Every structure is written in structure tokens, then in C-alpha cells.
């Protein structure tokens, strides 16, 4: 009996030691909130400039191409980012500019400059569900959603494009968030190796599948901080048959980015 008790004590000690050394691998995985927090921070790159192509495809398969240039910079608090998007072509949208200044403790500042009207318009929270310059992305889709605005639940783990992923259900925390986003819930497939999303399903306020976003060609652009970016994003609207493809043609993280670029005066320059 004493020998049996000794063996049980021995193996229990080993098990406890292993769980102490490898708590995530052996005892428990991340919570849904922890996963979405990591997903939020993994794209918080210090600063970069980029050129990109946006292709709009209608329900008949006809395409329109747009060229953009983007500037992004992390603010001093290391949490919020500032973003400028300017459209270079075609002629009917050339000169259009978009400015976002994130505020983790409140509503983001959003502006859009419309060259045809020579006017800068400030967007409010309710505009987040509106189409981003005629694409299948909404203004809210191109912004990083604040983790606290949603209640998150880990549904399961499964593979997407050969990569293991967590499947997270995110439900708006209140009716105001639901109204402003236009979504009753989102399902996000978050890769386990780098915490980038590979797939997001968006459900309208009636609970019907509205859109699906696919992200691929993930690139490590800031190795020292493990910051990543998806070079290719597709958003398909299942209710209209439209689709938008967004691809980065160039990303440069080596050049300094001035704070003066993140002003309405800058996006008004044509």
C-alpha cells in the first residue's frame, strides 16, 4: 500500500510540474477574449506606407479597379493607430481621402474628403455600417473593432487553409453597437500560430449571413514585435452578389511617418 501511495504521489508531482511549465499547452487554452485581444494587437504596426489595388466585382462579374495609397502610424500610447487612405484612380474617385484617428477610450474620429464637393465630412458612429467608398467593406470593417464592444465566445477549433484556427463568436454588447455596426454577430477564424484572422462571417441584424471576408498571404512585417498584415483581403456580400478584393502591392515599414499627415488638411490636398 505504501508503495502504491508513493507511486501515485510521484506521478502526481510530475503532472503538476508539467502543467506549471506548460500551462497553455497542457492545462488550458486561451479564453475567447484573450484570443481577440491578441488578434487586435497583432496588426498594430509602428508605422508603414503602402500602395494597394481594390477591385470591385458586381453580380454580373463586371469589374472596376481602384488604386490607393495608405499611411498608418501607431500613436504614442502604443494602442491606438492613425490612418490615411487616398484614392489615386480612376478619375471619378481620384483625390478622395479618408482619415481615421483611433481613441481606445471613446469614439474614433473619422473624416472623408470628397473632391467633387470640395468638402470634408465628419462621420459619426452610425456611419460605420455604410459602404466604404462604394466597396463591399463598410467603414467599420476597415477599422479594428474594439474588443470591449463585443461579448466573445470560443466555439471550437478547426483548420482553415491548412492552418489551425480558433472560431470565435462575437455578439454586440448592446443595441447601440448592433445598430452602429449593422451586425447581430460575427464569427472569426483566428489562426493559432499568429492570431491573424483568416475568415470572418458577418450576420445582419435579422441574423442572416450577410458577408464573408477571407484574408490570406499573411506577412510578418515587424518581426521584433511579431506584427503581421494580410496582403490580400476579399469581402463577398451574399445578399447582393457583389465582391471586393483588396491587395497590397507594396508595404514599406522602413521610413518615418510624420504626425502632420493625419489631418484633414492633408487629405484635402489633391
**DSSP class per residue in 144-209:** ---GGGEEEEEEEEEEETTEEEEEEEEEESSHHHHHHH--SEEEEEEETTT--EEEEEEE-TTS-E
Tell me what pLDDT residue 104 has.
Answer: 87
Per-residue pLDDT of the chain in tens (270 residues, 90 and over written 9): 444 444 434 444 444 444 333 333 323 489 999 999 999 999 999 999 999 999 999 999 999 999 999 999 999 998 999 999 999 999 999 999 999 999 988 889 999 999 999 999 999 988 999 999 999 999 999 888 899 999 999 999 999 989 999 999 999 999 999 999 999 999 999 999 999 999 999 999 999 999 999 999 999 999 999 999 999 999 999 999 999 999 999 999 999 999 999 999 999 987
* Nearest in space to 160 (alpha carbons), one of 187, 188, 189: 189
Cα-based distances in Å from 179 to 79, 110, 204, 236:
25, 18, 10, 21
pTM for the whole thing?
0.86
Distance CA 147, CA 151 (A): 8
Distance CA 181, CA 171 (A): 11
User: If you ran DSSP here, which 8-state letter would residue 217 be given?
Assistant: E
Distance CA 10, CA 7 (A): 5
Phi, psi of 261 (to 5 degrees): -75, -20
Tell me what pLDDT residue 231 has.
Answer: 97
- Alpha carbon 42 to chain centroid, angstroms: 10
Helix (H, G, I), strand (E, B) or coil at 100: strand
Burial string for 9-45 (b: 16+ CB within 10 Å, else e) reads eeeeeeeeeeeeeeeeeeeeebebbebbbbbbbbbbb
Three cell numbers at 239? 445578399
Distance CA 43, CA 31 (A): 20
Distance CA 258, CA 34 (A): 32
* Nearest in space to 44 (alpha carbons), one of 211, 224, 212: 224
Three cell numbers at 127? 456611419
Three cell numbers at 88? 489615386
130 Cβ contact list (under 8 Å, min separation 6) = 123, 138, 139
Half-sphere exposure of 121 (CA within 13 A, CB side): 10
* Nearest in space to 246 (alpha carbons), one of 100, 71, 56, 50: 56
Distance CA 149, CA 176 (A): 10
Tell me what pLDDT residue 66 has.
Answer: 98
Amino acid at each position: 500500500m505504501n508503495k502504491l501511495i508513493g507511486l501515485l504521489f510521484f506521478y502526481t508531482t510530475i503532472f503538476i510540474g508539467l502543467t506549471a511549465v506548460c500551462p497553455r499547452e497542457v492545462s488550458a487554452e486561451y479564453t475567447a477574449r484573450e484570443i481577440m485581444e491578441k488578434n487586435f494587437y497583432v496588426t498594430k504596426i509602428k508605422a508603414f506606407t503602402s500602395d494597394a489595388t481594390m477591385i470591385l466585382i458586381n453580380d454580373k462579374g463586371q469589374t472596376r479597379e481602384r488604386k490607393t495609397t495608405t499611411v498608418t502610424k501607431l500613436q504614442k500610447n502604443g494602442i491606438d493607430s492613425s490612418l490615411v487612405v487616398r484614392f489615386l484612380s480612376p478619375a471619378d474617385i481620384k483625390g478622395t481621402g479618408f482619415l481615421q484617428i483611433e481613441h481606445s477610450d471613446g469614439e474614433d474620429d473619422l473624416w472623408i474628403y470628397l473632391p467633387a464637393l470640395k468638402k470634408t465630412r465628419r462621420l459619426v458612429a452610425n456611419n460605420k455600417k455604410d459602404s466604404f467608398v462604394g466597396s463591399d467593406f463598410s467603414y467599420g470593417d476597415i477599422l479594428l473593432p474594439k474588443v470591449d464592444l463585443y461579448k466573445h465566445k470560443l466555439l471550437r477549433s478547426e483548420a482553415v487553409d491548412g492552418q489551425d484556427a480558433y472560431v470565435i463568436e462575437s455578439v454586440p454588447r448592446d443595441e447601440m453597437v448592433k445598430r452602429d455596426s449593422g451586425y447581430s454577430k460575427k464569427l472569426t477564424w483566428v489562426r493559432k500560430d499568429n492570431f491573424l484572422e483568416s475568415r470572418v462571417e458577418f450576420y445582419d441584424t435579422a441574423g442572416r449571413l450577410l458577408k464573408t471576408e477571407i484574408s490570406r498571404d499573411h506577412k510578418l512585417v515587424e518581426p521584433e514585435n511579431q506584427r503581421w498584415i494580410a496582403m490580400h483581403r476579399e469581402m463577398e456580400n451574399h445578399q447582393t452578389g457583389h465582391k471586393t478584393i483588396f491587395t497590397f502591392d507594396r508595404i514599406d515599414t522602413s521610413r518615418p511617418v510624420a504626425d502632420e499627415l493625419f489631418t484633414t488638411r492633408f487629405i484635402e490636398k489633391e
